[in-house]
């Protein structure tokens, strides 16, 4: 019996295709092998002329650029990884991540217009725009937060022009406004790249792992380097690290209340003891009150979106309030690490001797900022100039050459008042409008979502943004790159949650039986 001609022809075509594919695979392999051999040869030759570290860094950056060109989302998640893991400047006690040149340049490359992180974001945005244009899409989507964000940035621009026209230093102006520039770039990047549930899961895996690693570093410094004593030490890690610690504690609480995606909940619980040790040792007083405020907002939102647990939640909140009040009353005058949070909370209202100078400095600083803004209430004092000091402040010189040795003469602890002083009443209103729009929109989104995990993310985002505002009032936060970058990422994610919630094609990844509950 003869084989039908059609089948014979099909079989021959398949064989030819397989043979052709094998040839392509061999050609690809030989090309990669030849390129690798040539690259290794170049690296060896270059290593004899330059430092191997510099050559290796260039090679890694090249590979990273190629990966981002193929998958722009890689650039976003690398930016997130840098935000949660890498310090903005070297610490007194080095922990490796503080010496990575992500937010600052090594001495021989210092003075460039942008930081390495800024180049990463700009390159990723450029590649994303190119991808969209090639696919005949809009270059970038703006989202509902773009208008209030642009209104605020216009006020910042007015402050820049006013500062330059009245004697402001251009280099210092660049340093002052860079956090707001990053806020815009990161928000646009997040809003345009976060499209699936899997992106949200990966985002928070990185956040939890990052906070856990920083907590282990802080625990190591406290227990091994300092032998369990912080006497004479004001902080052991970067100031903003405590912000990320309290944010993870808040997340762990929300996982417990929402009963969703247990793998991340268990990892957050595993990191909690180390986070508490590092948080207490880092001694940032404001973050304790900020955490309580964030928890309060989160509980109120959970109370609104989960009517079936309102009674239990109300009882739990009442019991927690009694326990916290009792703890503060019992331990506020005690010594030891267990009493540190209680002492820190009380010292904000009734300073102990070691915090009196700090509190008085902040009171005087706020007075000077309010006096300065009165010189031009409408558009403010402008950027790039030291604020006025009718009430002289203590000299907190750090030797930072970028700010003439004393950055606190330009950027105070209270960065809410700092924005007010620089941009006047118009800019201050624009900032409050931006935060208000985020919080109100976030609350509406949280109530509209059906997926419990996405609902948790919305509640978390609203509470963390409120924590940022709370801490920014007294602890330098709106000028901190990592905080502002994280804020921009949460803004972008928040707006994408309703779209992802409506997409029923992707659900929470299953890790064993009964480890999560995706929906109500």
Tell me what percent of the residues of the chain surpass a pLDDT of 90. 42
Angle 150-488-436 (CA atoms, 0-180°, nearest 5)?
65
CA 338 to chain centre: 28
Instruction: Determine the pLDDT at residue 518.
Output: 43
Instruction: Determine the pLDDT at residue 71.
Output: 87
- Of all residues in the chain, what percent are helix, strand and coil, respectively (each to 5)? 75, 0, 25
Say if 508 falls within a structural domain.
no
Instruction: Determine the pLDDT at residue 335.
Output: 64
Residue 169: φ, ψ to 5°: -85, 125
Instruction: Determine the pLDDT at residue 493.
Output: 96
pLDDT(385) > 80: yes
Instruction: Determine the pLDDT at residue 517.
Output: 39
Instruction: Determine the pLDDT at residue 32.
Output: 54
Instruction: Determine the pLDDT at residue 514.
Output: 37
Confidence class for position 513, pLDDT limits 50, 70, 90: very low
Instruction: Determine the pLDDT at residue 34.
Output: 62
Report the pLDDT averaged over residues 427-456: 93
Instruction: Determine the pLDDT at residue 332.
Output: 63
Question: 279 vs 16, which has greater pLDDT?
Answer: 279
DSSP string, 313-331: HHHHHHHHHHHHHHHHHHH
pTM: 0.84
Question: 29 vs 190, which has greater pLDDT?
Answer: 190
Report the pLDDT averaged over residues 61-82: 88
**What whole-number distance in Å separates Cα of residue 74 and Cα of residue 435?**
29
Say if 392 falls within a structural domain.
yes
Angle 155-161-165 (CA atoms, 0-180°, nearest 5)?
145
Confidence class for position 42, pLDDT limits 50, 70, 90: low
Please report, for residues 15, 26, 102, 129, the alpha-carbon distance to residue 19 in angstroms, rounded to integers and kept in the order given.
Answer: 6, 11, 47, 38
Say if 380 falls within a structural domain.
yes
Please report, for residues 158, 372, 503, the alpha-carbon distance to residue 210 in angstroms, rounded to integers and kept in the order given.
Answer: 37, 39, 29
Report the pLDDT averaged over residues 37-51: 53
For the ranges 30-44, 244-258, 296-310, the maximum mean pLDDT occurs at: 244-258
Provide the number of structural domains found in the chain.
1
Residue 74 CB burial class (10 angstroms; 0-12, 13-18, ≥19): middle
Report the pLDDT averaged over residues 370-387: 92
Please report, for residues 46, 59, 260, the alpha-carbon distance to residue 49 in angstroms, rounded to integers and kept in the order given.
Answer: 5, 15, 55
Say if 246 falls within a structural domain.
yes
Q: What is the 3-state secondary structure (H, E, C) of 111-173?
A: CCCCCHHHHHHHHHHHHHHHHHHHCCCCCCCCCCCHHHHHHHHHHHHHHHHHHHHCCCCHHHH
- 453 lies in which domain range? 69-502
Instruction: Determine the pLDDT at residue 506.
Output: 56
pLDDT in tens, 228-261: 887 777 778 888 899 999 999 999 999 988 878 8
**326-340, 366-380, 495-509: which has the minimum mean pLDDT?**
326-340
H helix or E strand, kind and range, residue 103: none
Say if 23 falls within a structural domain.
no
Say if 473 falls within a structural domain.
yes
**What whole-number distance in Å separates Cα of residue 517 and Cα of residue 260?**
5
pLDDT in tens, 466-475: 999 888 887 7
Confidence class for position 290, pLDDT limits 50, 70, 90: confident
**What whole-number distance in Å separates Cα of residue 246 and Cα of residue 286?**
11
**What whole-number distance in Å separates Cα of residue 39 and Cα of residue 59?**
9
Tell me what percent of the residues of the chain surpass a pLDDT of 70. 78
**Distance separating the N- and C-terminal Cα atoms of the chain:** 63
Question: 308 vs 20, which has greater pLDDT?
Answer: 308
Instruction: Determine the pLDDT at residue 424.
Output: 94
Total length of the chain? 520
**Chain-wide mean pLDDT for the chain?**
82
Instruction: Determine the pLDDT at residue 512.
Output: 40
């Amino acid at each position: 019996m003869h084989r039908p001609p059609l089948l014979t022809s099909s079989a021959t075509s398949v064989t030819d295709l397989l043979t052709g594919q094998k040839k392509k695979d061999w050609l690809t392999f030989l090309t990669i092998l030849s390129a690798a051999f040539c690259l290794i040869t170049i690296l060896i030759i270059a290593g004899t002329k330059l430092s191997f570290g510099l050559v290796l860094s260039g090679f890694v950056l090249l590979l990273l650029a190629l990966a981002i060109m193929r998958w722009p989302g890689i650039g976003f998640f690398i930016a997130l990884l840098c935000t949660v893991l890498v310090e903005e400047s070297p610490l007194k006690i080095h922990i490796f991540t503080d010496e990575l040149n992500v937010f600052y340049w090594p001495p021989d490359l210092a003075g460039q217009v942008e930081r390495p992180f800024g180049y990463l974001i700009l390159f990723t945005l450029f590649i994303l725009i190119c991808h969209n244009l090639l696919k005949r899409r809009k270059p970038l989507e703006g989202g509902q937060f773009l208008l209030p964000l642009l209104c605020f940035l216009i006020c910042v621009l007015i402050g820049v022009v006013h500062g330059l026209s009245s004697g402001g230093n251009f280099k210092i102006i660049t340093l002052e406004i860079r956090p707001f520039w990053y806020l815009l770039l990161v928000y646009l990047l997040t809003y345009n790249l976060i499209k699936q549930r899997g992106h949200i899961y990966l985002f928070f895996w990185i956040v939890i792992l990052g906070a856990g690693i920083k907590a282990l570093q802080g625990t190591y410094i406290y227990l091994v380097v300092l032998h369990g004593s912080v006497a004479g030490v004001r902080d052991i890690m970067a100031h903003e690290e405590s912000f990320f610690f309290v944010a993870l504690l808040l997340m762990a609480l929300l996982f417990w209340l929402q009963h969703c995606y247990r793998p991340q909940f268990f990892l957050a619980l595993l990191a909690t003891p180390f986070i508490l040790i590092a948080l207490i040792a880092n001694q940032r007083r404001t973050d304790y009150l900020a955490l309580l405020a964030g928890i309060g907002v989160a509980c109120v939102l959970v109370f609104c979106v989960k009517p079936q647990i309102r009674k239990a939640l109300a009882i739990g909140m009442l019991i927690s309030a009694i326990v916290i009040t009792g703890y503060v009353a019992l331990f506020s005058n005690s010594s030891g690490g267990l009493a540190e949070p209680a002492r820190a909370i009380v010292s904000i209202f009734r300073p102990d001797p070691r915090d009196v100078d700090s509190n008085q400095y902040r009171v005087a600083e706020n007075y000077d900022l309010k006096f300065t803004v009165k010189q031009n209430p409408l558009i403010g004092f402008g950027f790039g100039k030291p604020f006025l000091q009718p009430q002289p402040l203590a000299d907190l010189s750090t030797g930072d050459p970028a700010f003439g040795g004393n950055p606190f003469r330009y950027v105070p602890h209270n960065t809410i008042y700092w924005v007010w002083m620089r941009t006047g009443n118009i800019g201050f209103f624009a900032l409050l409008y931006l935060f208000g729009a985020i919080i109100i929109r976030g609350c509406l989104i949280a109530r509209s979502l059906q997926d419990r995990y996405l609902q948790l993310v919305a509640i978390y985002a609203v509470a963390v943004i409120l924590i940022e505002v709370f801490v920014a009032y007294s602890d330098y936060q709106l000028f901190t790159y990592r905080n502002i970058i994280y804020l921009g990422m949460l803004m972008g994610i928040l707006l994408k949650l309703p779209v992802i919630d409506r997409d029923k094609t992707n659900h929470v990844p299953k890790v064993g039986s009964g480890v999560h509950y995706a929906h109500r």
